[in-house]
């Protein structure tokens, strides 16, 4: 029982880590609370399964899912930058529109099984681990670890470029960047494109892990991602050696562990969304206490220095 829970935590946590890395870019770097995530996640899933069922290799399908998610992010950014719609409302508009698009792509079906198609988790490599489900789970975890590490390093590499530094600058002080002649809107759109591209990719991978596409899988995904980002950043805020992407990966696994432990102790899955919201609220409250405590300490230090 404990082994099954542990393996589930690692698999789901690594899937959610991809979402968390995307939300890390939009929420933490750009300071943009993007609700598009709840629909760009299933968008990636439905695009991926549609292509796989049409005979497309699963790797190509995953990359196209990334592009689909990026397109959703572009629309949100375009609405915000070009039409001056607030960040929350632009995300809500795109999220709502995608609900119909996702349903149309799935032809009105809520659940679509992969039906034995060759996927990221159903291929010759996984079959090397034999038929035991626990051993196969280790193979799936290995694949997820490789995928997460690849995209983590790609994001870290991007953030070290000039464009990445400008992205951070826009998130930290947009007015200053604008006064210096920087087109902050362009960088906002770019950040949302990358962020939702990661979310779409995560939706494609999550669907293959579950072995079916669920049109409702995006519900509450922004809560999972934000909780993962907040947990990870809070845990490692004093350790500059730990990169933000690493922190949110750990945060995603911790949050997933909390959810699975709640389920393991007998809480009905009917109340899972309620539990997710409750855990997220507790995280926000605790994080607020920590921030207030840090501010109080800094204020006392400044006052002591000024008196000296």
Contact indicator for 255, 12 with CB cutoff of 8 Å: no
Half-sphere exposure of 283 (CA within 13 A, CB side): 24
Residue from 174, 207, 191 nearest 58 by CA: 207
pTM, rounded to two decimals: 0.92
Strand partners, 122: 119
Residues 161-208: pLDDT tens digits? 999 999 999 999 998 888 888 899 999 999 999 999 999 999 999 999
Q: Which two tokens stand for residue 264?
A: 């393991």
Per-domain boundaries in the chain: 2-307
Tokens of residue 134, six digits: 């626990």
Look up the CATH number of domain 2-307. 1.10.3470
User: pLDDT tens digits, residue range 216-266?
Assistant: 999 999 999 999 999 999 899 888 889 999 999 999 999 999 998 888 888
How many angstroms from the chain centroid is the CA of residue 64?
17
Kindly tell me the number of DSSP H helices and DSSP E strands found in the chain.
Answer: 12, 2
């Amino acid at each position: 029982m404990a082994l099954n829970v542990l393996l589930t935590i690692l698999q789901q946590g690594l899937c959610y880590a991809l979402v968390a890395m995307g939300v890390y870019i939009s929420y933490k770097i750009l300071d943009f609370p993007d609700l598009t995530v709840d629909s760009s996640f299933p968008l990636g899933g439905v695009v991926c399964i549609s292509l796989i069922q049409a005979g497309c290799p699963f790797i190509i399908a995953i990359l196209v899912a990334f592009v689909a998610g990026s397109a959703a992010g572009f629309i949100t950014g375009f609405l915000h930058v070009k039409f001056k719609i607030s960040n929350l409302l632009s995300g809500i508009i795109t999220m709502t529109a995608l609900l119909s698009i996702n349903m149309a792509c799935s032809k009105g079906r809520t659940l679509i099984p992969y039906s034995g198609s060759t996927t990221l988790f159903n291929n010759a490599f996984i079959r090397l681990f034999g038929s035991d489900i626990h051993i196969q789970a280790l193979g799936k975890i290995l694949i997820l670890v490789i995928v997460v590490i690849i995209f983590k390093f790609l994001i870290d590499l991007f953030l070290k470029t000039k464009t990445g530094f400008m992205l951070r600058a826009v998130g930290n002080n947009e007015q200053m960047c604008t006064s210096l002649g920087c087109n902050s809107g362009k960088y906002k759109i770019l950040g949302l494109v990358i962020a939702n591209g990661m979310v779409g990719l995560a939706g494609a991978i999550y669907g293959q892990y579950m072995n079916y596409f669920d049109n409702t899988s995006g519900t509450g995904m922004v809560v999972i991602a934000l909780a993962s980002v907040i947990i990870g950043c809070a845990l490692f805020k004093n350790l500059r050696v730990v990169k933000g992407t690493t922190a949110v990966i750990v945060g995603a696994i911790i949050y997933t562990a909390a959810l699975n432990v709640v389920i393991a102790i007998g809480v009905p899955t009917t109340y899972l969304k309620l539990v997710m919201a409750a855990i997220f609220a507790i995280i926000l409250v605790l994080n607020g206490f920590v921030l207030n405590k840090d501010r109080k300490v800094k204020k006392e230090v400044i006052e002591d220095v000024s008196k000296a």
